[in-house]
Chain A
């Protein structure tokens, strides 16, 4: 079967750095997406990785290792508004998106 694993919840301090991990087992791989979803709102696109390595976009970076079936989202200089759920999604060999359950990130002052 296809499976995406990410921690259910994480807590971090304002101004700090947090890394949210995602591991996957899917039938084929055509890229990995990270989305941010605030409570009661729809997801917004953060990043897309299809090749190994780190993609940096401002305070957010996303890393991919295809051989390990592993990705992480790194958030720097955390702000209170970063409190949200972060969803990892993998595109399989049929170009279908397989969604993780999301990681709820709580930022404390």
Chain B
């Protein structure tokens, strides 16, 4: 149980393109979803937290107009990187958790984004 599907797994696109990444919880209802970014050999960096039906809470330094997050249902959240530039190239990972603070976050497989 507790499967999280994330796609696409890899995106290569030109600078200025907007890229949408989907994150789905397949067998549980995700009351909260998280979006992380990870650069090579570095730790996870939380970008934002989203609760179903609410606006996402962004971490300091993360531009909400550049990284649009939608959490329209209990099983789906999307991250759109708008007008992506080479410095946005990174490994983006979503996670989801169900009710209860002791429940762990379950991660999707990540999306490797490369902006040319």
Contact = CB atoms under 8 A, between A and B. Distances in A.
Given A41-B109, A41-B110, A99 B104 contact: no
Interface string A88-107: 00010001010111100000
Nearest to B45: A99
Nearest to B104: A45
Q: Please classify the interface of chain A as helix (H, G, I), strand (E, B), loop, or mixed, using the class held by over half of its residues.
A: loop
Contacts of B108: 42
A15 B89 CA distance: 38
Contacts of A45: 2, 104-107
A1 to B, nearest CB: 13
Contacts of B102: 30-31, 48, 50
A44 B108 CA distance: 9
A43 interface: yes
B43 interface: yes
Nearest to B4: A42
Nearest to B49: A96
A101 B45 CA distance: 10
A77 B58 CA distance: 42
A33 B104 CA distance: 8
A43 B107 contact: yes
B93 A42 contact: yes
B43 A101 contact: yes
A42 B110 contact: yes
B110 A87 contact: no
Nearest to A104: B41
A97 B43 CA distance: 13
A88 to B, nearest CB: 10
Interface of B: 2, 6, 42-44, 46, 91, 93, 95, 101-102, 104-110, 112
Interface of A: 30-31, 33, 40-45, 48, 50, 87, 91, 95, 97, 99-102
Given A42-B6, A42-B110, A45-B104, 9 more contacts: A33-B104, A40-B91, A42-B107, A43-B93, A43-B107, A44-B107, A91-B101, A97-B105, A99-B46
